[in-house]
Each structure stands twice: as structure tokens, then as C-alpha cells.
């Protein structure tokens, strides 16, 4: 490590870290707590991160039923617009949040990324790639002091660089100083190697340059549970899993079968429960593999024990689609310092 560079923290008690973060989420809000509106909120991964950082969420926007149900289960006091973001007007958004234009501190969003993702077909014409325009439409009308937009790293690869450049130009044209960085959650207290493109924008009139938080933790893995709900694969399923791994790796997708090593960060969790992950400490033979338990999934995603999911299959999808809360906590804390009044 270079002289003068900040030392990374070694996580020696990860459950304690999650317990501390959960207590921050449950703590009463300060009277002058910064406000956030979260679009494409999912089950609330980003929302939880902002809450851990002391924000008060004024409104969340989500259309998928199970994601909305999970959000309500964990954030019963946050107003939720459950519907198509394209049908949410700026005026209705402000009314639901109880704010006027320019009063919101941070506008957050993770537009669906399947069209950019390296795990998919990567089609530039994919309609899901255009949902960022709905984010921009609301951003222009709300005029928050800052915004954070998250997406997958695949949006800067190959032909998608053109789309990335368009997104960046559009965000700057809304009147914001914008910076973009690829952040990996494993440097922010998350036992998962998960790279995401993070856009941070600060309104021009504030005279502050946008920037990103620095990583603060050494990469680490998680130890296994007794796994009473772990899903063991049959010998036939093991063969299928290994075939899936070979097929995906041949396509360059990177979402094939990946053993979880407790000494290292887990690979990026995909959004579907396919039975193609296993924990090497639980491999009894070449034909004995299992998927992670529910508790392991939550820890890998940096969701504390108190966060609730509707069922195991949905849990995998919710975590796979979420911004890890501890990553967003670091981003939210940093942005809060940028716009401190």
C-alpha cells in the first residue's frame, strides 16, 4: 500500500457489522435528516443503505408485485408508488413525497439493466435500456440537490459505449455536475464481488464537484451456516449444474456454477435461483453440492438478519436485483457530505 494511502479495514466480525448497520437503520431520524426518493426501488436494498446513512425516504417507486410486497414488509412507513414509473408525473411524485421542486436532497434510481448486462443478450434496442429516460424526466422536474444512478458494468463495454455516452450527456444537460465510477461492493464491507457503475450528480448551482466514496474494507468471505434450508442437489442436478457452468463460461457470461469460498468474496449473485451455487465446505463428494441457505444469501447481499423476505425463491431474486445495502450506505454517506448545508 502506498505511503499516505488510507488503510483498509479488516472485517473480523461481519455479523456485528450487520447488527450495527441495522441499528443505524432503526435509529430515529434527525429533524434535519436529508431526504431521498428511490425509483426502481426493488425490495429496498438501496433504501436500506440510505436509511443506514441517516436519510429519510420520502417516496419509493416500484412496479413488480413481489418486490413491492417485500418493500412494504420492511418499510411500512415509507410512501410507495406501486406502478409504472412512466405513468408517474412530476406533480404526483412531489405530492406523494410532500416536497416542492428543489427541496429533495437525493434522487436515486437503478433503472433495469438486463439490456446492458453481460449475462443477457446485450441488445442495444432492448426497451429496458430506455427506462433511464423516465429517471431523467423525473430528475428534471424534481431538481434535487444531488442524484445517484446505478447500473451494471456492461454498459461501458463494446457497442454500449455509445449508449453510455448518451446517458452521461443527458444527465449533465439536466443541470448537474456528473462523475461516473465503477465500484465493487467487496471494498465496502460486502462479501460479494459485485461491480456496478455508479453515476453521482450534484446540481450546478451548489458549486460542488461530484465524487465517489473510497473503498474502506479488505475483501472477505463468509463462513457457512448449518444450512437447515440449504438445497442439496441430486447427482443428476450436479451434472446439469456443471453443464450450465461450461455453457455460460463458453458464452463469456460469467454466471456459471461458482463454488463459494469462505476465504474470498462470493461471485456476483445472479437474479435467479438455479441451484448452480454451492459451498465447498459442504461438498462431501463430487456429487454432493448445495445452494446457499437463506441466511447465507442475506449475508452475501449484506442484508441484516432483521430484513424479511416473502419466500426463499423470491429472496434470491430480490437480493440478485438489489444494490447491496452496505455499498449504498457508503455512497449515501459520501453524497451527504457533498450536499451538506
- Selected catalytic residue, list 93, 113, 174, 266: 113
Residue written as grid cell 423470491: 314
Q: Assess contact for 317 and 298: CB atoms under 8 A.
A: no
Residue written as grid cell 461450461: 246
Q: Assess contact for 190 and 299: CB atoms under 8 A.
A: no
Q: Dmax over Cα atoms in the chain, in whole Å?
A: 62
Q: Cell triple for residue 69?
A: 410486497
Q: Cell triple for residue 95?
A: 405530492
Q: Is 93 a catalytic residue?
A: no
- Cα–Cα–Cα angle for 332, 20, 189, rounded to 5 degrees: 55
Q: What are the two backbone dihedrals, phi and then psi, of residue 239, each rounded to the nearest 5 degrees?
A: -60, -45
- Count the helices and strands in the chain (H runs, E runs): 10, 11
- CA-wise closest residue to 310 among 294, 327, 323: 294
- CA-wise closest residue to 277 among 268, 295, 286, 290: 290
Helical H segments across 2-61, by residue range = 14-26, 45-52
Q: Cell triple for residue 271?
A: 437474479
Report how far Cα 262 is from the mean position of its chain's Cα atoms.
22
CA distances from 153 to 82, 157, 161, 184, 225 (A): 28, 8, 11, 10, 31
- CA-wise closest residue to 46 among 265, 295, 331: 331
Residues tagged active-site:
113
Amino acid at each position: 500500500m502506498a505511503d499516505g494511502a488510507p488503510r483498509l479495514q479488516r472485517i473480523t466480525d461481519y455479523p456485528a457489522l450487520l447488527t450495527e448497520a441495522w441499528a443505524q437503520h432503526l435509529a430515529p431520524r434527525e429533524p434535519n435528516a436529508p431526504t431521498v426518493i428511490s425509483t426502481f426501488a426493488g425490495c429496498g436494498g438501496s433504501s436500506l443503505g440510505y436509511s443506514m446513512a441517516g436519510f429519510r425516504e420520502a417516496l419509493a417507486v416500484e412496479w413488480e408485485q413481489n418486490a413491492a410486497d417485500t418493500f412494504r414488509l420492511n418499510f411500512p412507513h415509507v410512501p410507495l408508488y406501486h406502478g409504472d414509473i412512466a405513468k408517474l408525473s412530476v406533480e404526483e411524485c412531489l405530492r406523494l413525497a410532500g416536497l416542492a421542486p428543489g427541496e429533495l436532497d437525493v434522487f436515486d434510481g437503478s433503472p433495469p439493466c438486463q439490456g446492458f448486462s453481460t449475462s443477457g443478450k446485450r441488445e442495444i434496442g432492448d426497451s429496458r435500456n430506455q427506462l433511464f429516460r423516465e429517471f431523467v424526466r423525473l430528475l428534471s422536474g424534481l431538481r434535487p440537490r444531488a442524484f445517484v444512478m446505478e447500473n451494471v458494468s456492461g454498459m461501458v463495454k463494446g457497442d454500449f459505449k455509445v449508449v453510455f455516452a448518451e446517458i452521461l450527456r443527458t444527465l449533465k444537460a439536466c443541470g448537474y455536475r456528473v462523475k461516473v465510477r465503477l465500484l465493487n461492493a467487496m471494498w465496502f464491507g460486502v462479501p460479494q464481488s459485485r461491480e456496478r457503475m455508479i453515476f453521482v450528480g450534484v446540481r450546478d448551482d451548489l458549486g460542488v464537484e461530484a465524487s465517489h466514496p473510497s473503498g474502506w474494507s479488505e475483501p472477505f468471505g463468509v463462513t457457512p451456516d448449518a444450512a437447515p434450508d440449504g438445497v442439496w442437489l441430486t447427482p443428476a442436478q450436479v451434472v446439469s449444474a456443471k453443464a450450465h457452468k461450461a455453457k455460460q463460461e463458453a458464452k463469456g457470461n460469467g454466471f456459471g456454477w461458482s463454488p463459494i469460498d469462505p476465504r474470498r468474496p462470493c461471485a456476483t449473485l445472479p437474479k435467479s435461483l438455479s441451484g448452480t451455487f454451492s459451498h465447498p465446505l459442504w461438498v462431501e463428494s463430487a456429487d454432493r453440492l448445495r445452494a446457499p441457505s437463506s441466511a447465507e444469501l442475506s449475508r452475501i447481499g449484506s442484508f441484516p438478519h432483521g430484513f424479511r423476505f416473502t419466500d426463499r425463491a423470491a429472496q434470491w431474486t430480490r437480493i440478485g436485483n438489489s444494490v447491496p445495502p452496505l455499498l449504498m450506505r457508503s455512497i449515501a454517506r459520501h453524497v451527504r457530505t457533498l450536499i451538506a448545508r
